[in-house]
Amino acid sequence: MDKKVDWLLLDLNSYFASVEQELDPSLRNKPVAVVPTQADSTSVIAASYEAKAFGVKTGVRVGDAKRMCPGLKLVEARHDAYIEYHHAIIKAIETCLPVSAVLSIDEMACKLMGSECNVDKATEIALKIKHTIKTTVGTQLGSSIGLAPNRYLAKVASDMQKPDGLTILTKDILPHRLFTLKLRDFPGVGAKMEERLHKFGIRTVEQMFQKDVHHLREVWGGINGERFWHWIHGHDIADIKTTQSSISQSHVLSPEHRNTQGVYAVLQRLIHKAAYRLRQDGMWATHFYVKVKYMNDTKWEASSKLIECQDTLSFIEALAAFWSRQKFKEYPRPIKAAIVLGGLVPNEYHNLSLFGEDKKSQLSKAMDKLNSKLGKNSVYFAGIQDTKTAAPTRIAFTNIPDEIL
């Protein structure tokens, strides 16, 4: 019997909310919602487990969340703090085990080697990592860890027990240990893929395992199905490398735009360009990043998680929320602006809205059609009136670097 594991994946529990509870002891053991701004019309970015118990989760409108959870504490997101804790957590993990891949701000994977692959030893390491994070970074920073023969199943395992879980999947208990799960419990199986599985007569995890590799390749329409078959059967094969992980736009400001109003207008222009590319590529973004570089080499930056999004107006609204909280008198003249749409999800894996396509998406697609028919910049939002010819398209000869300014 094979009781070896090859991967450890750590998923921080309710990360943004947990950081807020760490920073402010008065929030501990209370329902907390992290929000972009203090307005009922905005949506929750993250929720603590105390808030989740009332049904509050990412994407719920703040006004609805307050009605669902009396006494809900609203906290404006502090992304600089989340990034700072992210790096501290990675350092803590690496005192126990090297980090092989940073999958997101709240997920890290570690490849196990040699004796580390022994289940008892791997369990000891996992418990040590949990303890080290809580004792050296923050007592409120709980995590769920999955141990499995490959990174994909380690992710599945990390989701099986939350919060503060530790789940072990070894080949000798596969696939039966997974039969209690739902199709949607597997990363990459969203509403659209689940519907496709149903069309092929697959409605349960057990039925999915009964299909051979060629059948799943047909279901997925290509190599993704073949890789998925290998992953769920415990084979440690390479991850799928997507052709792009982000879409970015940057621009060195002309003299007339080197002021607060000018850089804001240019950022809106960059959003128009990037969101159009996003839709043309058939992608949806789950992260939004903004950076501005100033004359003295200082930077202002902000970032936010999003519900899968590709419409221009949602990104402009996110930028407006960032902008309203900054004290720009403290900064010198801006010289460069950039935005990045990250965490891309292709159309085939996009989770469909329960309420159908919203008006913002319909508006963006209608504008695309008009601009395609009538010519570039025939239709645009008024905010870019003075910058619609700024930031001309440039061809990138290399991959987009992590540091864009």
- Candidate from 68-77, 126-135, 362-371, 373-382 with smallest mean pLDDT: 373-382
Q: Which of 370, 377, 375, 373 is nearest to 392 (CA)?
A: 377
What is the average per-residue pLDDT within 387-398?
Answer: 38
What H or E segment, with its residue span, contains residue 356?
none
pLDDT at position 282 is: 83
Cα–Cα distance for residue pair 158/7, rounded to 1 Å: 11
Pair 73, 21: CB distance under 8 Å: no
One-letter amino acid identity for 33?
A
Q: Which of 183, 185, 184 is nearest to 167 (CA)?
A: 185
Pair 29, 151: CB distance under 8 Å: no
Q: What is the pLDDT of residues 250-265, one digit of tens each?
A: 888 888 888 988 999 9
pLDDT at position 104 is: 86
Residue 223 reports pLDDT greater than 50:
yes
Residue 1 reports pLDDT greater than 90:
no
Cα–Cα distance for residue pair 258/262, rounded to 1 Å: 6
- Supply 46's token pair: 């993250």
Residue 141 reports pLDDT greater than 70:
yes
Sheet strands (E) in 193-333: 246-252, 283-294, 299-309
Indicate if 107 belongs to the active site.
yes
Sheet strands (E) in 49-100: 73-76
**DSSP structural state of residue 72:** P
β-partners of residue 243 are none
Residue 377's pLDDT band, with cuts at 50, 70 and 90, is low
Domains of the chain: 1-173 (3.30.70.270), 175-241 (1.10.150.20), 246-384 (3.30.1490.100)
pLDDT at position 36 is: 82
Sheet strands (E) in 162-282: 166-168, 246-252
- Candidate from 221-225, 228-232, 289-293, 324-328 with smallest mean pLDDT: 324-328
How many CB atoms are located within 10 Å of the residue 255 CB?
A: 9
Cα dihedral 198→204→205→207 (10° resolution): -80
How many CB atoms are located within 10 Å of the residue 372 CB?
A: 11
Cα–Cα distance for residue pair 15/253, rounded to 1 Å: 36
Share the mean pLDDT of the chain: 85
Q: Which of 202, 239, 195, 200 is nearest to 350 (CA)?
A: 195
pLDDT at position 399 is: 32
Pair 21, 81: CB distance under 8 Å: no
- Supply 124's token pair: 């000891």
B/e letters for 23-52, b = 16+ CB within 10 Å, e = fewer, are: eeeebeeebbbbbbbeeeebbbbbbbbbbb
pLDDT at position 92 is: 97
pTM of the model: 0.63
DSSP 175-240: TGGGTTS-GGGSTT--HHHHHHHHHTT--SHHHHHHS-HHHHHHHHTSHHHHHHHHHHTT---PPP
Residue 71's pLDDT band, with cuts at 50, 70 and 90, is very high
Residue 66 reports pLDDT greater than 90:
yes
- Which of residues 239 and 214 earns the better pLDDT score? 214
One-letter amino acid identity for 132?
T
Catalytic residue among 76, 107, 317, 348: 107
Cα–Cα distance for residue pair 404/183, rounded to 1 Å: 38
Residue 209 reports pLDDT greater than 60:
yes
β-partners of residue 47 are 33
Pair 144, 164: CB distance under 8 Å: yes
pLDDT at position 328 is: 62
- Percent of the chain clearing pLDDT 70 (strictly above): 82
**DSSP structural state of residue 240:** P
Task: Please write down the long-range contacts of 397-405, taking CB distance under 8 Å and 24 or more positions apart.
Answer: 400/246, 400/248, 400/340, 404/248, 404/250, 404/291, 404/338, 404/340, 405/250, 405/291, 405/293, 405/299, 405/336, 405/338
What is the average per-residue pLDDT within 356-362?
Answer: 54
pLDDT at position 69 is: 96
Pair 280, 346: CB distance under 8 Å: no
Phi, psi of 137 (to 5 degrees): -115, -50
Contacts of 54 (CB under 8 A, 6+ apart): 31, 68, 69, 72
Q: What is the pLDDT of residues 292-345, one digit of tens each?
A: 999 888 888 898 888 888 888 889 889 998 888 776 656 678 989 999 999 888
**What does the radius of gyration of the chain's CA atoms come to, in whole angstroms?**
23
